[in-house]
Amino acid sequence: MSELRRLSAKDVEELRVLLRVCWLDTYTGLLSDSVIQTTLNVWQSRESLLRGLRNPRAYYAGWVDGGRIVGMVSAGMIDPTKMKVFQMYVLPSHQRKGIGSRLMDSAVQHFPQARSATLEVTEGNAKGISFYRKYGFDYPGTTLVEIDGERVPCLVGKMDLHR
- Structural domains in the chain, CATH included, are 2-160 (3.40.630.30)
User: How far is the C-alpha of 139 from the C-alpha of 91, rounded, in Å?
Assistant: 24
> What is the reported pLDDT for 162?
77
> What is the reported pLDDT for 152?
94
H helix or E strand, kind and range, residue 48: helix 46-54
Q: How much is the pTM?
A: 0.93
Neighbours of 73 (CB within 10 A): 27
Which residues in the chain land under pLDDT 50? none
Looking at every residue in the chain, the average pLDDT score rounds to 95
> What is the reported pLDDT for 136?
97
Buried b / exposed e along 16-30 (16+ C-beta atoms within 10 A): bebbeebbeebbeee
> What is the reported pLDDT for 163?
57
- Bridge pairing between strands 59-65 and 68-79: antiparallel
142 and 154 Cβ atoms separated by less than 8 Å: yes
